Amino acid sequence: MKSWGEEHPDLWEFIKFNVLSNVATVTNFVVLWISTTFLFSSLQSQPFQWFIFDYSVDNGGLGGFLSFLLAYVMAQIVNYFVQRYLVFKASNQISKTIHWYILTVVVAGILSIVLPPYVIGLLTNWGFSLGVAQLLANVVNIIVQVVVNYPMMKFVIMK
């Protein structure tokens, strides 16, 4: 495996990025579950609409918004350190690139917070329960994260 990784360093790095991103993915799912089930469950009956964010009661309301937000932030904190030390083995100064990571996280985060109500609405219209629709909306968010984060980490943040 080591020689294959040496022969295909970019592909091996992308594989490691995706495999080790699962640490953040697990963090995301655990925090989302804890948040929707315990922390913010009482806020799911309160609709939340502000700027580009639209979380009706049918989409989890304020509780859903806060749950996705907290899950996202916690996963990104975990992901930064996993990617820095285990995938890219970056030795650059954190202070010189952390602003790029924060910007990337904010842009990807806005996408991740805006998308769920639309995905949830679509899926619940197709007959999925709210819980399953929220889970699948989170899967969509994770795919968006890979598309945004990998190029930024590889070419800007961890360079």
The pLDDT tens digits of the residues spanning 47-89 come to 999 988 889 998 899 999 999 999 989 999 999 999 999 999 9
Residue 1 pLDDT: 67
Average pLDDT across the chain, whole number? 92
Q: What is the pTM of this model?
A: 0.78
Q: What's the start-to-end Cα distance of the chain, in Å?
A: 25
The pLDDT tens digits of the residues spanning 71-82 come to 989 999 999 999
Domain positions in the chain: 2-157
Q: What integer is the mean pLDDT of 100-113?
A: 89
